[in-house]
Amino acid sequence: MRGKRSKLNKQADQNAFNTSKQNLLSARNQCCSFTWTFLISAALLLIPVSLIPEAWYGPLNRLTANLSVVFMRMMGMAPLVRGTNIRLTEFTVNVISECSAIHLIALFAAFILAFPAGMTRKLIGIAVGVVLISIVNSMRIGAITMIGQFYPNLFDVFHIYLGQLAMLSFVVFMCLFWCRCVSNSDFLERPAGFFLRFLCFSIVPFLLWLPLNRVYQHFVDGFVETLFSAASYKIIIPLTHDFYYQSFSLVTMAGLLFAVKSVKLSTRLRWFAVGFFVLTLLQIAIRICNTWITAFHMQWVEAVSQIIYFLCTQAIPLGIGLLFVMKVRAEKIQ
């Protein structure tokens, strides 16, 4: 009798192990399918967006500028708008395509297209997302214009880092909100909770990264100087800024990874290590492009540098964060 029970227990354990293994493989397959679809969709959307001449974005830039002015007037300001220029007393900003959130909209659309849902729901999600992201982005531009007028020393910080952080976090919020609307909400983060945790997990690393920023940039520049030295070029890259804002994409990525609940620390650290390596390579590529432009007058590299800069500051942190969320979701479903 004991022998039969022992065999039954072993068989049950083996069945449980096989089921667990199958579930894990299914989760990995689902995550891989989403990842490839997302990456292909993002490439097909981002490449044309990045290659379109700036002059073609004129109508979109003017629309963004006018929406920003509407927000500023609601706040009691009296800005003037002429074309893509917004003037508030003595402070003026010029809205370009990079300010219009077109790249973030492309990433949002790629995420919606990759998520398993009906095409009608996807089209509605993209349409609503485009409108809301555009409105929030216009509010961002209006806010940083007012900051530039009254607190000019803080303009760069809010424009280049905190403004981008706000837009990235809002896009993540929109992605999660849409997913909860079209799928089982038990397997996804609550958008509001994720948003608050993301902010909390971004503040502390941001403060810690402030004194380390120049050290990291010195390492990157030293590596670039070594590369040019190996090619018999003597290059010295001076640290001319207090902060190098593109490196704060590391903080953004860390905030996104640690905002996800119920994940082992070792898993988060593995994902962060991969992201850190990729972002550091992009940092090096940016400095190489800048060196080619300034030292060798290769002006055609500017377009390449802008694409790499966008990948470094927005696409890679946002992409890794969203893929991590979908990985956790797939494992919960199984």
Q: What single string gives the DSSP state of each residue in 316-327?
A: HHHHHHHHHHHH
Residue 115 has pLDDT above 60, yes or no: yes
Per-residue confidence (pLDDT) for residue 274, from 0 to 100: 95
Per-residue confidence (pLDDT) for residue 334, from 0 to 100: 58
- pLDDT (tens digit per residue) in 298-330: 888 888 888 888 889 888 998 998 888 888 777
Q: Quick one: which H or E segment has residue 94?
A: strand 91-94
Give 105's contacts (C-beta < 8 A, 6+ positions apart): 129, 130, 133, 134
Give 123's contacts (C-beta < 8 A, 6+ positions apart): none
pLDDT-derived band of residue 11, with 50, 70 and 90 as boundaries? low
Residue 333 has pLDDT above 70, yes or no: no
Per-residue confidence (pLDDT) for residue 9, from 0 to 100: 54
pLDDT-derived band of residue 283, with 50, 70 and 90 as boundaries? very high
Residue 20 has pLDDT above 50, yes or no: no
- The pLDDT > 90 percentage for the chain reads 35
Quick check: helix, strand or coil at residue 308? helix
Q: How many helices (H) and strands (E) does the chain have?
A: 11, 3
Per-residue confidence (pLDDT) for residue 18, from 0 to 100: 46
Per-residue confidence (pLDDT) for residue 49, from 0 to 100: 87
Q: Which of 146-160, 216-230, 251-265 has the highest mean pLDDT?
A: 216-230
- The pLDDT > 70 percentage for the chain reads 88
Q: 3-state SS of the chain: helix, strand, coil percent to 5?
A: 80, 5, 15
Q: Quick one: which H or E segment has residue 88?
A: strand 85-88
Per-residue confidence (pLDDT) for residue 155, from 0 to 100: 86
Quick check: helix, strand or coil at residue 92? strand
pLDDT-derived band of residue 185, with 50, 70 and 90 as boundaries? low
More confident residue, 154 or 26: 154
